[in-house]
Amino acid sequence: MALVIADYADCRALTGGLRSFEVEASTVRDLLQQIEARFPGLGDLIDQRMAIAIDGVITQDAHGAALAPHSEVVLLPKIGGG
Amino acid sequence: MSKQRTAAIVNGDPVEFLSDPGQTLLDVLRDELHLTGSKEGCGSGDCGACSVIMDGRLVCSCLVLAAEVEGCRVETIEGLAAGGTLHPLQQKFLDHAALQCGFCTPGLLMASKALLDANPDPTESEARYWLAGNLCRCTGYDKIIKAVLDAAAELRQDRKSA
Amino acid sequence: MNKPVKPEDTGPILKVVGTRPIRPDGVEKVTGRAAYGADLHLPGMLIAKVKRSPHAHARIVSIDTRKALALPGVKAVMTSADMPDLAAEHYEAGESASNLRDLSANVMARGKVLYHGHAVAAVAATSNAIADQALDLIDIVYEVLPHVIDVEEAMAPDAPILHDQMFTAGLGDTPTKASNIATKHRLDRGDLAAGFAAADVIVETRYSSAAVHQGYIEPHACVASYAADGQTQVWSSSQGHFVIRGLCAKLLKMRFSDVRVIPAEIGGGFGGKTTVYLEPLALVLSQKSGHPVKMVMTREEVFRATGPTSASVVTVKMGAKSDGTITAAQIDLKFQAGAFAGSPVGAAVMTSLACYDVANFEITGWDVVTNSPKVAAYRAPGAPNAALGVECAVDELAEKLGMDPMAIREKNAVRNGVRAPYGPVYKNIGYVETLEAIKSHPHMAIPLGPNQGRGIAAGFWFNIGGESTVNVSINEDGTAIVSTGSPDIGGSRASMAMMAAEVLGIGVDQVRPIVADTASIGFSTVTGGSRTTFATGMAVVQAAEKLVTDLKRRAAETWGVDQDQVVWQDGAAHCLQADKAPKGALTLAALAGSAGKTGGPIATVVALNAQGAGPGFGVHVCDVEVDPETGHVTVLRYTAAQDVGKAIHPAYVEGQIQGGVAQGIGWALNEEYVFSTGGVMENAGFLDYRVPVASDLPMIDAVMVEVPNPAHPYGAKGVGEVPIVPPLAALAIAVRHATGARMHDLPLSPSKIRAAIDAKAG
Amino acid sequence: MAQLSYLSPSSVDEAVKALSGASARALSGGTDLLVQVRSGRAKPDHIVDLKRIPGLIGIRSENGGFVIGSATCGAMLSEHPTLSKIWPGVVEAANLIGSTQVQGRASLAGNLCNASPAADSVPAMIAARATCVIAGPSGTREAAVETIVTGPGKTSLGAGEFIIAFKLPPRGSKASDAYLRLIPRTEMDIAVAGAAVSLALDADGVCTSAFVALGAVAPTALLVADAGQALVGTRLEAAALTQMEEAVRAACQPISDKRGTADYRTKIAAVLAHRAAVIAWNRAKEQA
């Protein structure tokens, strides 16, 4: 079970206020599908606008990235730069 | 609008060109003589990217009318290296990583050359004030100043041993 | 705690990485040969210019281009009617998603002009002078509307509205009334009220910054050539030619394969050259005229219609216990987005507390449209504005607590294992080491004289990875070509060549790095976000490693041994079974010379989406002297320490730090957009938009702290953006300590400082 | 701009003729004019380059003073062997105009005739009691520098008139001058305020004459007679300087604009005048 942390308000608007929840997933692709199923709109939001930190490492569009059994997954906005 | 014919010496070579009365030396260097090493960063004499040496004086070529150079000697970045050998300033800019994007570099090199021609042993402060008309947005000037002072030292050494 | 790691501790001894070779594109640049955007000349080429709005906000009633088109020498005239009317669609490009409808309306106004300088029409003609005359012949009728530029005024309920269909997102419920607030961002954790209740002291403060421009010295420039069969070539100076391609194709509804973008050398970008302004217009004009078209902005146009970054107002309420522990922080960030939504306030929300381990916080950000040029990315977008507020608030807190400014930062510093305020748990960060590097630096021991002050501030930037493609090929003589799709804005060709040379075991002078055009290499996103040395560098290393594997296979075949009997060292294959290789090692040159006999050309491509960019932290200390009678600030000395992971080419890492500091000093002291009451920028030139000149600055001591990033083969972290984050606060704090007056509004111009000194005295 | 022409007369008479047209502009260094032409703020039909007229470039001594050709560039002023010893304030003011590049071009006549209230060399020239020699259709005339500029962008020169030279008067011993300006940067700026002081001392160090001129605090550079008078008969004691500062502040009538507020400009003018007076006094004392 990966622990998903959703501190940003636009995520919480779709989780019914939940700041964290658990998902059984082995890859990011898996994770997004399950999140979308559970919180309609959130999976797509993450896919299009957000980055995912897996155990402290920020990834963007890394659908194939593996999740360990107790991975911590943090949802955060995508990052650009100058 | 009739064009004017002007004859000058650019980087040691005689050149003749036609220009509109409103065209600047920078326009002519870049568009007529295809010497695009002199850059236009502002067109108002505030950035120094178009710096050339005209009859021994450092000028912004964007603030000189093309017709004004009749009979003048103009030195541009394209003439700074002697054949295939870089000028010590060019070499020191490379050695010290004194350029990033490189857009201000031709103007800074010409300004630095004029500095060392006028003052072979500038202090850091003198170099900074002399080069204040040459904006660089990448480097923070630190490495440029070090390169100029190092080139000055080398040129002084060369002069001694010559 | 990590210790700064010396190169010899990171594994194999590095021969190239960490040295300071001369950059491969250097000679071209010191001899004036390097070709930038405005340097290309094609036969039959036209010059195109843009007609711009004289109003800050107006409805376009009519545009009549007939007289301009009739002028001899004019070959084409265009308006937004010549571009597809696009739906609102988010397109992932450059620094962040672009709304294509907004972008289209920004490059050429549609229906309304939203800022003074907004493009309304463009002409292509046979000369500059004719193009100028043609612009004067375009008749435009405007209905002038009230305008608003100040971010707080734009948020007021009765403010003039820029976009009738803008309803604030992020409030929970979508409002029914349109406003200039595009989005409200919110990030919070813990119990704010309890946090403040636990505090012994609380500060409440407010800091503002004016809009500032990236100020690259090269104005935007491009050449577009549209052939009758629809195939086009665009030469453009940008931070990402693939993004230029994508945006042109999307805005003009063209096939990507029909748009070939060739990267010119780029004369500085700092984020500002990650989008399009001229290229789509040049393409339309080239298509309409049947000629190649060159467009070059004037400096004035650069100021009026590109860049800048947001003006901002940051309020901070922060509480701490008497031992310095920060218990709660409430931060509100209002950012000016310019004419279209999309300020960097989201990143400001995320970075504002990134250096602090705070249990209870609430951070709110407001993205607000105004009648000023649409903001573009600028070096760590959003972070400097946020750091100005937070670092100054921390200094105020330290002062109230009677605590040393370094000690309060150490007390609350984020460390490995601490959850970052923006979400993830920190790993492999070097903030504490960076604080230590400043604390122990000789700078800190230099005594200050009268009217002198010292300011300390910290800063953070995420850094990013992202998509890159790299080709590495070995020439027949054993030299190598490294092609990337990443424009080189500050020396990245040098670091690419170095990493390839390191892996291949050859000299860096044997590697020629180039930036390939969009038809010659796979997709690579912009050079921005401090990603190129990290992400494109990772692809270079992987490509070179693939080649080494291939070279070992070729050598094994040649010798008739198993591949595990071959080692690659110093640019040659060595056989562990000496008897099988009587002629000794097979050099890269030998293997390359006989490549046809071992399978053909030696070349490979790596395309990746690099993950795991390590965040960067910087700590700066700055000493100033303030003339108490004039308010003039002299920067006496400046030291900037930064965790760079591993410096691939230390001289260019120092250069990034020094350059970022210089931009930050300019932002703090003198740079600002000054608008007239009519909404016209009054200082659209380098005379009155005052970027620092050489005599304004001291030497800038760049201290590189190396806490390696395990995600990168050599430990590199991005370095380009962090250094612009701390200077705004460092300067404001230094001026505070030099004068006793707390400065709340940037820039810290002499008149403001004198006024603050007078107010304090009187 | 279609009908713009460039003329390069080789005599004063030719130049007078060329400049008699309605929209002819004189070109010496061009560092202001070319920027104005490019931006469209100036739309002359003729640009008349004065630099090829004999005598318009160069510095010569005359009757104990100096005659400076009007198109002489700033760099030549500082390179002159004696000018900056005798008129250091004038030379330092001229040398503050723009960058090294601009110094290679910009002239005193251009700085004056551009008629900016903030021109750096003008207060120094006024304090020095410099005059200009003006050529025109009815011959040459001489006028005090402060009579040339009548308002921002406006001069008292008539059609066909142009300045051919500046005269700096003879200077006794124990006399000197100084110019200071305030800019936000260290270089490459337009003065927010500027102040020039020229003074002479007697053998005991008592000020026998003093002239104070200000820039950027009024529509034109100002000669503040009261300020100079406040120093005469004193050794620049605190009270004298205070009185001078008051006179300076009273004379200021600046505008608030992007470069500074009126209040700030007024305060700074006094600070700069005070400091310039002290510098000039110290320089004068060191004169033989």
CATH of D59-168, one of 3.30.465.10, 1.20.1560.10, 3.30.450.20, 3.10.20.30: 3.30.465.10
Residue D186 in this model has a pLDDT that exceeds 90? yes
pLDDT confidence of residue B2: 81
pLDDT tens digits for range B75-131:
999 999 998 899 999 999 999 999 999 999 999 999 999 999 999 999 999 999 999
Q: CB-CB: which of B94, B134, B136 is closest to C26?
A: B94
Contact between C547 and C604 under an 8 Å Cβ cutoff? The reply is: yes
Same domain (yes/no): C586, C564: yes
Same domain (yes/no): C495, C591: yes
For every residue of B74-143, DSSP letters joined together read EE-GGGTSBTTBPPHHHHHHHHTT--SS-SSHHHHHHHHHHHHHH-SS--HHHHHHHGGGS--SSSTTHH
So where are chain A's domains?
2-77
Q: Of C572, C594, C610, which closes a domain?
A: C610
| Closest chain C C-alpha to D7 CA, distance in angstroms | 20
Chains A and D share 3 or more Cβ pairs within 8 Å: no
The topology under which CATH files domain D180-286 is Enolase-like; domain 1 (3.30.390)
CATH architecture of the region A2-77: Roll (3.10)
Q: Hey, are the CB atoms on D101 and B132 less than 8 Å from each other? A: no
Contacts of B106 in chain C (CB under 8 A): 30, 32
Residue C1 pLDDT level (bands cut at 50, 70, 90): very low
Same domain (yes/no): C631, C560: no
pLDDT tens digits for range C30-40:
999 999 999 99
pLDDT confidence of residue D282: 97
Range of the domain at C739: 436-459+616-762
Residue C7 in this model has a pLDDT that exceeds 70? no
Contacts of C378 in chain A (CB under 8 A): 82
Residue C265 domain-assigned (yes or no): no
| Closest chain C C-alpha to B22 CA, distance in angstroms | 9
Residue C298 in this model has a pLDDT that exceeds 60? yes
> Touching check for C574 and chain D: CB below 8 Å?
no
Q: Of C552, C580, C610, which closes a domain?
A: C610
pLDDT tens digits for range B27-81:
999 999 999 999 999 999 999 999 999 999 999 999 999 999 999 999 999 999 9
Chains A and B share 3 or more Cβ pairs within 8 Å: no
Look at C512 and D23; give whichever has higher pLDDT: C512
Q: Hey, are the CB atoms on B65 and D31 less than 8 Å from each other? A: no
Beta bridge partners of D136: D139
Beta bridge partners of C470: C484, C606
Domains parsed from chain B with CATH numbers: 4-79 (3.10.20.30), 88-161 (1.10.150.120)
pLDDT tens digits for range D136-165:
999 999 999 999 999 999 999 999 999 999
Contact between C319 and C326 under an 8 Å Cβ cutoff? The reply is: yes
pLDDT confidence of residue D288: 67
So where are chain D's domains?
5-49, 59-168, 180-286
Count chain B–chain C contacts defined by CB atoms under 8 A.
Answer: 188
In this structure, the number of other CB atoms found within 10 A of the CB of residue D263 comes to 15
Nearest of C208, C328, C218 to residue C264 by alpha carbon: C218
Token pair in block for residue D36: 């104005």
List the 62-91 stretch of B: residues with Cβ below 8 A of C: 76-78, 80-81, 86, 90
CATH of the domain at C28: 3.30.365.10
pLDDT tens digits for range D87-132:
999 999 999 999 999 999 999 999 999 999 999 999 999 999 999 9
Contact between B41 and B134 under an 8 Å Cβ cutoff? The reply is: no
> Touching check for B129 and chain D: CB below 8 Å?
yes
Q: Hey, are the CB atoms on C489 and B101 less than 8 Å from each other? A: yes
Nearest of C733, C740, C664 to residue C455 by alpha carbon: C733
If you ran DSSP here, which 8-state letter would residue C656 be given? H
Residue C3 in this model has a pLDDT that exceeds 60? no
> Touching check for A68 and chain C: CB below 8 Å?
no
In CATH, what class is D5-49?
alpha beta
* Separation CA C572–CA C587 (nearest Å): 4
Contact between D32 and D114 under an 8 Å Cβ cutoff? The reply is: yes
